[in-house]
Structures are given as C-alpha cells and as structure tokens.
Amino acid sequence: MNIALFPGSFDPITKAHVDILNRALPLFSKVYVSVGLNSNKTALLSANVRLEMLTKVFAHQPKIVVTSYEGLTVEYCKKINATHMIRGIRTVSDFEYEKAIAQMNHALEPQIESIFIVSKPGYSSISSTIVREILRYNGNVSQFVPAEVLPFLKS
C-alpha cells in the first residue's frame, strides 16, 4: 500500500488545498489529510471544527482519511506507515521554506519523501492566512473555500 500524508493547519481549508490533494490522489492508494496541532499558533477554528470540516469536504473520497496529530510530522508518518508527504507550493518563498523543512525531515527519516505539487495559477494567491484576514473584516470568502466549509465560517 502506497500511503501519503498531507499535513497542514487547514484553518480553514481552501480551494487551493483541495486542488493540490485532488492532483496527488492518483499517486497513492491512501492519503491522510491531517491537522497538525501546534500550540504556538492561535487558530481561528478549533481542531474539532477543522476535522469536521475536512470530513465534510472529503466525504466523497474513499482514499482519504482525516486525522489530527501532535509532534514531529515525520514521526506521525511512521505511525501511519506513510512513505510520502505532500506539500503545496504557491510561490518561490513557499518553495524555499518547504525545501528547508523537507531537507530536515529527510535527515530525520530518509525513507520518507516529500512531494511538492505546484499550485495552479488561479490558486497561487489563496492561503488560509488571507482567508482568515478577509473573515476578520466580515468579507465574503466563498470564492476561496469549498462550499462545505462556509457553514463552519458563519458560526
């Protein structure tokens, strides 16, 4: 079985995340979409809400398992027997950041490979950070997030 992990905060999940995941799915027999719990970050949505949101978004995808984890991502990969990590790249600065993390992860666990998928041009400006900022000022984010996410953002 060829297993991958798509880790993130998903606070909230965006159409860009969904695009990266949908393009990665054919490469793997199972993909864990996992909320990384980071006590140093202040999230807009609780971990439980993010998990519920992801479950709704990917309800139609039998190859996707929604989970959360704490600690080192490579350790979680070992726990779920993932051999690959999926990472989306929107910009050159994303690449530099993700490359450094991938190199450190490879030093920790050489058998776990990072797969970079470059976002489509129409999604390169979408980030959870920007969506949260729009939400703070009561803006409409419907063009940036999956429809299943909107009810979670209105409460």
Q: Whole domain around residue 47: which residue ranges?
A: 3-154
The residue from 9, 15, 17, 84 that is catalytic is: 17
The residue from 50, 84, 87, 90 that is catalytic is: 90
Catalytic residue flag (residue 142): no
DSSP letter assigned to residue 26: G
pTM over 0.85: yes
The pLDDT tens digits of the residues spanning 102-138 come to: 999 999 999 999 999 999 998 988 999 999 999 999 9
Q: Is 115 exposed, middle or buried (0-12, 13-18, 19+ CB in 10 A)?
A: middle
Catalytic residue flag (residue 60): no
Catalytic residue flag (residue 78): no
DSSP letter assigned to residue 144: T
The pLDDT tens digits of the residues spanning 35-66 come to: 999 767 788 999 999 999 999 999 999 999 99
The residue from 41, 60, 136, 154 that is catalytic is: 41
Our count of domains for the chain comes to 1
Output the domain CATH number for residue 68: 3.40.50.620
Catalytic residue flag (residue 23): no
